[in-house]
Structure 1
């Protein structure tokens, strides 16, 4: 039976979505999530509730597109509030620098040089703050796992579907929490 709600079966043991995620987050990331939660709770949810109430007062809800749309949007916002509340309770905020700032740990800005001599800077952050445009990668990513605990001028090899990539660590920096 085919339908739009049918999905492909995945073996839970091999499904990357089932891998355990770390519950680490930077202080800036936690503040950003709290800001989103506050905005959704204090501004967006009451605004949508009012719109749903106004649309419901117009009469027949079965043919009222405004009611249907705003009700779905309200349910989506409520689900997001519930998720963020639960997630913020689970997270462990890392709000201090590591004891040894000469090695790569959580929150580090790492400059890497590949085999062709091209440099790239990445930052190791929590799963909830990954951002490909800023090159912030999850601490659970293969590259981050290979970097953790390494020092300046160490060579690392990362396995990728396209083949192994070799990098040399050329710089390690940390941002003081709260700055």
Structure 2
């Protein structure tokens, strides 16, 4: 009998998909090389809350369920155990991702530009395309932008085109369909929080 035939299943890798991935655990794209991880204070707080919820609530519950399932006999056919272990890997991957992104976050408060007419990070901009269609976008961080809410990442083509522009500027936007002209109609920022 060969030595390798008696090796415990515990020492084998379940799949190559389990490898640690810096950007696994997040659907966000990796940060472009040499850039900062800009984030609004609300975006930072939301990601931090997610991290704390995973560490303080969800992970302990899954660990408890896996521990209970492990006591129920054959682990190779125990669905609760297998699902629990898979969920633990997903949680741990997301925790690593969030921890790394929050460590390098550069929190930038857009309310510092309140009342300004130039586009900076955190601005909400209404622009009109050359076909007359108006659109409104808010420039946010890579990890916090939610397109369904009209938010765009600061590294997106539209955000890069709009940054540093002013109300009334006509800009050239490169799209897959070709170059388009857009005109900035309005720029706004959230109001600063009232002191104390």
TM-score scaled by length of structure 1 = 0.86
- Do residues 154 (structure 1) and 154 (structure 2) align? no
Partner-residue secondary structure (3-state), 1:45:
helix
8 Å Cα contact 2:124/2:136 also seen in 1:
yes
Q: Which blocks of at least 5 consecutive residues in structure 2 are unaligned?
A: 1-15, 18-28
1:4-55 Cα deviation digits (max 9, x unpaired): 98xxxxxxxxxx9673353100011001001101110111000000010010
8 Å Cα contact 1:127/1:139 also seen in 2:
yes
Task: Tell me which of 178, 190, 194 is aligned to 1:163.
Answer: 178
Q: RMSD of the alignment, in Å?
A: 2.1
Shift of 1:102: 1.4
For 2:81 and 2:38, the matched residues in 1 are separated by 39
Partner-residue secondary structure (3-state), 1:87:
helix
Task: Tell me which of 47, 66, 70 is aligned to 1:33.
Answer: 47
Shift of 1:116: 2.1
For 1:56 and 1:134, the matched residues in 2 are separated by 43
Q: Which blocks of at least 5 consecutive residues in structure 1 are unaligned?
A: 6-15
Poorly superposed stretches of 4+, deviation over 6 Å: none
8 Å Cα contact 1:28/1:178 also seen in 2:
no
The structure number with the bigger radius of gyration is 2
Partner-residue secondary structure (3-state), 1:107:
coil
Task: Tell me which of 135, 141, 145 is aligned to 1:130.
Answer: 145
Name 1:54's counterpart in structure 2: 68
For 2:102 and 2:136, the matched residues in 1 are separated by 28
Partner-residue secondary structure (3-state), 1:46:
helix
